[in-house]
Amino acid sequence: MNRYRKNIVNNRIIKMLIISSLLFSLLILRLVYIQIGEHEKLKIQALKQRSHEISLYPNRGIIYDRNLIPLTNREVIPTAFFYKDSILEDEKLKQFIIDNSEFDEKQLEKYIQNKNSIIEIPLNLEVTSPNEEKIFIENKTIRYENDSMLAHVIGYINKAENRGESGIEKAYDEILRDSDSYSLYLEVDKAKKIILNGEYEVSQNKNTMDPKAVKLTIDYHIQKIVENVLDKNKIKGSVIVADVDTGDIRAMASRPNFNQNEIDEYLNREDMALYNKAIQVANPPGSLFKTVVLLAALEKDISYLDKVFYCSGYEQINNVPIKCNNGRGHGYIGLKDAFSKSCNCAFIQLGQEIGGDSIIYMAEKLGMGKKINIGLIEEVEGNLPKGEELKGPAIGNISIGQGSIELTPLQVTNMMMIIANKGIKKDMTIVDGITTKDGYMIKEFKRNNGERVVSQYIAEIVQNFMIDVVENGTARSMNLKHIGGAGGKTGSAQAVLNRKETIHGWFSGFYPKLKPKYVITVFVEESFSGSKVAVSIFEEIVKEIYKINR
């Protein structure tokens, strides 16, 4: 019996030892895991309690072009971080900042005047710290580059709230906000002065398949061409380049441009720099609208092709005279020449015959008077006349694209796309889809099959008329024959800008003239030479695109 009890006791002791050993081993493993596996995490958590956090990477997802070239989070610049008092006390440090940044002494003093605690200043490339005790230099990725490329499409954010305020930033704010970020933690003492050997934290989402970025249809290289041409020629207005086959927008630019990092500077200006004039501002299209009148007439009666008009230099409707673009008059003129030479008299006569209702019905079929919906919230509908606005002398203004007609460059581009596609309307878009942060497509933009809105026969006739505009008409100054030629339509329109009367110039066309690849719309504000400037801008853009595509 005693032996039995002794065995029981021994067994219990052995079991206790085994259990204790297992628990002790688990405790050792846990401590090892905490010391090794969780070391960095715990160290940074401790550091956060006694440090100043500085973001080294934007906490928003990347916006890509069609080739996955980043359009944001692209530029990396060395940045100096230092305590405010340090630069006030150390002339050597101040001189280092002046020598290695864009600040002069007065600018630097003004910049740090209202800053608290730690100051950060972008530096020139390849610099090293002059004083390890007072300054810390680290590479920082910025959201927007200083050249502000594609600024009106990308838009800008409210930095304090990390919220998209315009453009793609606003339309896809939920996708782009709160993305992975890199932070620099600078340890500070009780006086909030920097203690060097600050630490990094990289907070990354472990699920690499999360939607984190937006891929656009924009082509970086074509966009660069468009912006360079606009800036070189000091143009105010906008340009759109679209792919005929797909409906994808390859470039969209608006001028004046703005710096996305300094939005406050533009809020009270009158030049509408923050407006995307390609989609957000509608203007009279002038003679470009004769394309709508032409389509409406041919759809109603193809025999108008054989009709001859007479231009005396002006047309009078109910005692209201409307001048032709040729003050001496074109005399007797057929429909093709009237379109090519942009004869106001012939098109007013044509408009009177087919009526305002037919013209506006065609305009609506072509997508005017409503949003095209390419993926940007700011797009406006423009305006088409209706009711009493279609009667009496108003038909004169309607026939030549004046009066209450207002179109955006995007709507004009959509019309030209239909003609280039032989009467088929394609879904236009500037957003290709939602991707991972590495550019892997998660959700592609859905497109409907093309819809026929104009008969192929009539669309091909209008294409031919537009080629004649370039070769023999109002755009004959254009020289593109050696690279495939082009077709299109000019427009000059009276408008009011900043409470002053002015003239805007238009040219919208397709290139090359056979099997068009691109539609390009150019809108030039205050173009006192009418559409001539727009024609030359179109020509220059086409030649530059040809260079990169050949």
**For the chain, what are the domain ranges?**
51-150+180-215, 220-265+273-549
141-152 in b/e form (b: 16+ CB < 10 A) is: bbbbbeebbbbb
Supply the pLDDT for residue 348. 95
8: number of CA atoms within 13 Å, CB side? 5
SS3 218: coil
Read off the pLDDT band of 316 (50, 70, 90): confident
Average pLDDT over the chain reads 87
Q: Which residues pair with 77 in a beta bridge?
A: 140
Supply the pLDDT for residue 31. 66
Q: Is the pLDDT of residue 221 over 90?
A: yes
* C-alpha to C-alpha distance for 531 and 4, rounded to whole angstroms: 112
pLDDT of 130-145, one tens digit each? 655 677 788 889 999 9
pLDDT of 396-450, one tens digit each? 999 999 989 999 999 999 999 999 999 999 999 999 999 998 899 999 988 888 8
Q: Is the pLDDT of residue 216 over 80?
A: yes
Which amino acid, residue 401?
G
Supply the pLDDT for residue 178. 75
* C-alpha to C-alpha distance for 307 and 343, rounded to whole angstroms: 14
Is residue 505 within 8 Å of 538, Cβ to Cβ?
Answer: no
Q: Which of 431, 407, 170, 188 is nearest to 288 (CA)?
A: 407
pLDDT of 225-257, one tens digit each? 999 999 999 999 999 999 999 999 999 999 999
Supply the pLDDT for residue 405. 95
> Residue 372, Cβ neighbours under 10 Å: how many?
21
* C-alpha to C-alpha distance for 241 and 89, rounded to whole angstroms: 54
The least confident of 49-63, 281-295, 364-378, 524-538 is 49-63
Is residue 93 within 8 Å of 134, Cβ to Cβ?
Answer: yes
pLDDT of 476-512, one tens digit each? 999 999 999 999 999 998 877 777 788 999 999 999 9
Rg, the chain, Cα only = 33
> Averaged over 374-403, what is the pLDDT?
91
Structure tokens at 139: 């590479």
* Distances 4 to 7, 8, 17 between C-alpha atoms, Å: 5, 6, 20
Contacts of 125-132 with C-beta under 8 Å, sequence gap 24+, read 125/77, 125/78, 126/78, 127/78, 127/100, 130/92, 130/93, 130/96, 131/90, 131/92, 131/93, 131/96, 132/196
SS3 136: strand
| E strand intervals along 84-167 | 118-122, 135-142, 157-158, 163-164
Q: Is the pLDDT of residue 395 over 80?
A: yes
Q: Which of 68, 251, 258, 75 is nearest to 166 (CA)?
A: 258
pLDDT of 164-198, one tens digit each? 999 999 999 999 987 666 777 766 665 555 555 55
Q: Is the pLDDT of residue 105 over 60?
A: yes
Read off the pLDDT band of 381 (50, 70, 90): very high
* pTM passes above 0.85: yes
The least confident of 176-190, 377-391, 533-547 is 176-190
Tokens 């970020």, residue located: 181
Q: Is the pLDDT of residue 207 over 60?
A: no
Supply the pLDDT for residue 89. 76
Q: Is the pLDDT of residue 210 over 80?
A: no
Structure tokens at 519: 């539609």
Domain 220-265+273-549 homologous superfamily, CATH: DD-peptidase/beta-lactamase superfamily (3.40.710.10)
% the chain with pLDDT above 70: 87
Tokens 């699920």, residue located: 207
pLDDT of 6-22, one tens digit each? 666 667 777 777 777 77
Supply the pLDDT for residue 149. 96
Supply the pLDDT for residue 132. 55
Is residue 71 within 8 Å of 154, Cβ to Cβ?
Answer: yes
SS3 129: coil
Supply the pLDDT for residue 446. 82
Supply the pLDDT for residue 194. 57
Q: Is the pLDDT of residue 28 over 80?
A: no
Q: Is the pLDDT of residue 84 over 70?
A: yes
> Residue 329, Cβ neighbours under 10 Å: how many?
16
